[in-house]
Amino acid sequence: MCGIAGVYDYGYRSNPVVSQELLERMSDAMHHRGPDDSGWFISRDHTCGLTFRRLAIVDLSPAGHQPMTSPDGRYTITFNGEIYNHLEVREELIAKGYQYKSRSDTETILYAYQEWGEECFKKFLGMFAVAIYDEEKKDVFIIRDRIGIKPMYYAPLNGRVIWGSEIKVLLQHPAITKSLNEDAIPHYLSLLMPPAPETMFEGIKKLEAGHSLRINSNGEIIKKRWWSLLDAGEIDHTLTETKAIEDLRFLLRRSIKDRMMSDVPFGVFLSGGIDSSLNVALMSELMDRPVETFTVGFKDLEQYNELSYARDIAKKFKTNHHEILVDSSDAKAMLSDLAFHEDEPNGDPVCIPLYFVSKLTRDSGTIVVQVGEGSDEEFLGYPWMIRDLRFRKRFWKESVPVPVRKLAYFAMKPFMKHPLMREYVRRYAADEEFFWGGAVAFTEVHKSELIRNYSSEKHSTFRFPEQWHREIDERYPNADYPQRMMYLEFQQRLPQMLLMRVDKVSMMPSIEARVPFLDHRIVEYAFRMPTSIKLGPNNIPKHILKKASEGILPNEHIYRKKQGFAAPVGEWLKKEWKPIFDEHLASSKIANNYLNSKYIKQLQREHENGVRNNGAQLWSLLNLMLWEERYF
């Protein structure tokens, strides 16, 4: 895990301005991403500069220093992430005559790019964001991994492009004027993170997962999609449950073993759920010492804890177990720093416990952890997925004419009290796509009251799910609806919200998080798996993964009711955090100039009086206001 950044001033060749001072300032802004080492590179004509922060994981020696330049001086690379099969690719390159100076995966990427060009990334297993400068062609190649585990932001300006692992790094460049992107606010309010390539900063973009950029000497920016889930192939209707169980066990064991590649101590975040427990169980098979496990709980609200389940797993597999308990005061103290490190407001409150368990991990001396993200998106693990599938099958009748749908909506609207139900019927009446993703805080029904001078044309988030559904129609028209849901989750909620919370929050105390369930071979396999196997005959969330876990985990652990890793922000916003919310609501320019503060206070009253649980909505607003205060 590292941080990378760079500048290419292709339009300033007669007056180059890239300097060591600028690169060091950008590097210092992401010190937390790599406290072990730093470096910089400036091209011969001073138009391109690369900078780097290192968290040493593989080859701790100075030989792994970046930026790293090829022996002939042509290519210079900065790399954030891990390539788990770099040793296999290394042997292939050694056979072709390449001579290594380090044991690092960085050097393998550098030589592979020299040998095969950008196609080399299709060989790699892992997570990565990479920037490579070509001294001969005077171009820069930037690429982000298939799933979007590692972040990459960029700002195309007049005559230059600036990029980096975090937005705060780009803001160090004097050419960037920090400005709020008001057009992204309604999309954040709906999806809890602006969809790529949008960000909350005017002029700053995020590179989509599975995409690359090439910036040539004329300033032309060529963006390509180099990997898509839709290329995984058709549903395998010949697959049996027995074979799926066998395959999943093999794929998971291989993935977890690959992600144990490390020259520093590693462990597992153990929430007590099936995914993290599987990580512990399968890792313990491969080790001759106890697995290091880390768990977070809440002092005052035990109903949110899964501590007992985590302790049971730790005891069964004889792990070296670590716990931390936090309360509302602990969480309150780090809210501002959390908003700063997120770069953009991330509406997922799990960022709070994730920070404390990450800090516990670092304080214990462990630098690398495996986490359970991705499993629910792959194997239909959320109860709301089953709910939505049932709702669409029962009520979504395309044969009904749109005018009839609209009449029915307006007739039923006064009697529909639940906002989500109203939103589903509204989409049906408007002939919009049913599924927009699994993280929708404020629906369009909400936003019509929340946003001042609401305009469905200007403020609706529909264009994003519409685009993603259109991509499926064009590239994979035979997809069933669960595949559509999986594709949309891999377009938005997973890479933009869940994986960014893992990356940004774990990097606050400087640790590296790895996601074995998101090995792209498992992802593609899950996409091809029939829904009947994923859910089984009784439509049980994550049925096939539970079956694959039998004999590895205790059955009473596998088949207990899903609780999920959560944070009690709804409880805190009723009491301890109410003054914080009120204070920010009174001072926030976004809340008072852009949003309807009276409606926000209504949401507060409903929540405090127990009329409706608006905790998720209120937290997303508070997080937006905290972010605004820290950056603007």
Q: Report in angstroms the alpha-carbon separations of 188 from 255, 449, 512, 624.
A: 33, 16, 26, 9
8 Å CB contact between 595 and 450 = yes
Judging by beta carbons within 10 Å of its beta carbon (0-12, 13-18, 19+), is residue 417 exposed, middle or buried?
exposed
CA distance 272 to 288: 23
Q: In this structure, what are the phi and psi dihedrals at residue 215, rounded to the nearest 5 degrees?
A: -110, 110
**3-state SS class at 371:** coil
Task: State how beta strands 211-215 and 139-144 pair.
Answer: antiparallel
- Whether omega for the bond prior to residue 67 falls within 30 degrees of 0, making it cis, is yes
Cβ neighbour number for residue 581 with a 10 Å cutoff: 18
In 3D, which of 301, 343, 303, 346 has the Cα closest to residue 326? 301
In 3D, which of 276, 292, 274, 305 has the Cα closest to residue 361? 292
CA distance 340 to 418: 34
Looking at 208-314, which runs of residues are DSSP E strands? 211-215, 221-225, 266-269, 292-298
Q: Catalytic residue numbers?
A: 2
Structure tokens at 454: 């609401």
At how many degrees (to 10) do helices 578-587 and 615-631 cross? Answer: 50
CA distance 627 to 625: 5
Q: Report in angstroms the alpha-carbon separations of 397 from 390, 429, 478.
A: 13, 11, 19
User: What is the C-alpha radius of gyration for the chain, rounded to an integer number of angstroms?
Assistant: 24
Structure tokens at 557: 């652990």
CA distance 549 to 384: 22
8 Å CB contact between 267 and 293 = yes
